[in-house]
Amino acid sequence: MRLWIRTLIRNSFFQVGAGILLTMVLGGIILQWLEPGEISKNDNPYWWAIVTMTTVGYGDFSPATPAGRMFAVIIMFIGISLVSLLTASISSIFVAQKIREGKGLEQLNLNDHLILCGWNPNGGRVLDSIQHLSGGKKKELVLINEMNEEDVTQLKNRYQQLNIHFVSGDFTQEEILNKASIFEANTVIVIPNTTGSEVATYDEKTIFATLTIKSMDPNIRVVAYLLDRENLTHIKRADADEVVVGDDFSAHILASHVVDPGIPQIANQLIESNSNSRFRRVEIPMEFISQSYSDLFDYYRKLNGSLLIGVFAEDENLGIGAILSSDASALDSFIERKLKEGGINLQEESKINVVINPSKDYTIKEGERAIIIP
């Protein structure tokens, strides 16, 4: 109890408020003694004191005697000083809160938001995908990592369609996760973290964070990003709801788990090598050359129920080797040797041209092959 009272007395906001109250009471009492007129009746002197201190000045009461007016001047200066201190105290509270929020030290009060734990050079791609797939709808997103304040400010300015908040600290600690309102979060994304100084490998940190989150509440949806497929068993034992193994498409898939559920699962079936529904490329029968895409679509559908999604062709480009003369002169030999030493391929290369879901009137060309889903 004593500690609470001592803390209250030391609080600047309490001190200024107490000063205003004390000045109002004493000012009213002294004014009653100095002014015998209408101003001294009932609660009028206290009303006059607070109106004078706040510089409102309604003018309904005013001192008439020289002593009363001199006292009023004193009340005015005391009031101006105390009210200014009160305004400064209130402003400092909000400024301090903003500073703490900028440094990631403030407790957040959010609902149905996203939490992104960890940060690495691909983090921007994740935010890009989330912002793009959100369809213009502004999402609340909390970053938990050990980035500096300037980098976080740059992210907020870059991704203005995302309402980004920041919590600084180790996202494997329950205290830090609680600051991000994790129990009210919609989804938690855990990606490999390169902002800390921990000795553990990136995947170990991801697995540990998933275990911590699930131990706090098994119903929290966690999407984890792994760099090494060998750790897949461990992250599944940690009960992650969705797991993305690092590759060229991982950032987009990770964001889709959050804002476009269902699409990542379909994508996994389409690109998984062991899936019966994975993409396949097949030769187009010669009789369909110069025919419409619609005819070819119907052919595969009737043949075995396959779904034609597009066609592709390989264009042969003229390689550097074809430019060199065939008699292999000394100059050509020198050029060829230097290009090989520089790692430049002298052979012809193929360029893949893909057309996905063209119009039904699209004409099948010679050399094209089909992409189907069995």
CATH code: domain of residue 224: 3.40.50.720
Average pLDDT over residues 316-345: 50
Among the residue ranges 75-84, 240-249, 291-300, the one predicted with the least confidence is 240-249
Q: Is residue 129 part of a domain?
A: yes
Residues 264 and 357 in one domain: no
What percent of the chain shows pLDDT beyond 70? 84
Q: Is residue 107 part of a domain?
A: no
Q: Is residue 109 part of a domain?
A: no
Helix/strand/coil (H/E/C) assignment for every residue in 135-197: CCCCEEEEEEECCCHHHHHHHHHHCCCEEEEEEECCCCCHHHHHHCCHHHCCEEEECCCCCCC
Q: Is residue 108 part of a domain?
A: no
Examine the fold and report which residue of 34, 69, 102 is the final residue of a domain before the chain moves on. Answer: 102
Contacts of 108 (CB under 8 A, 6+ apart): 142, 165, 167, 179, 180, 181
How many structural domains does the chain have? 3
pLDDT of 371 > 60? The answer is yes
Average pLDDT over residues 244-265: 77
Average pLDDT over residues 48-67: 81
Q: What is the per-residue burial (b if ≥16 Cβ within 10 Å, else e) of 79-103? A: beebeebbeebeeeeeeeeeeeebe
* Residue indicated by tokens 């991704």: 159
* Nearest C-alpha neighbor of 161 from the set 186, 125, 133, 187: 133
pLDDT of 328 > 50? The answer is no
pTM of the model: 0.55
Q: What is the CATH number of the domain that holds 22?
A: 1.10.287.70
Residues 122 and 266 in one domain: yes
How many Cβ atoms from other residues are within 10 Å of residue 51's Cβ? Answer: 17
* Cα 121 from chain centroid (whole Å): 14
Residues 222 and 95 in one domain: no
317: containing domain: 280-373
Q: What tens digit of pLDDT does each residue of 160-180 get?
A: 889 899 998 889 999 999 999
* Nearest C-alpha neighbor of 20 from the set 83, 92, 90, 70: 83
What's the pLDDT score for residue 199?
A: 42
Examine the fold and report which residue of 250, 271, 292 is the final residue of a domain before the chain moves on. Answer: 271
Q: Is residue 90 part of a domain?
A: yes
* Nearest C-alpha neighbor of 370 from the set 247, 260, 283: 283
How many Cβ atoms from other residues are within 10 Å of residue 57's Cβ? Answer: 10
Residues 119 and 262 in one domain: yes
Residues 229 and 347 in one domain: no
* Residue indicated by tokens 């065939």: 326
Residues 118 and 238 in one domain: yes
Residues 361 and 253 in one domain: no
Q: Where are the beta strands (DSSP E) in the chain?
A: 114-117, 139-145, 162-168, 187-190, 222-226, 242-245, 280-283, 307-316, 350-356, 369-373
Q: What is the CATH number of the domain that holds 351?
A: 3.30.70
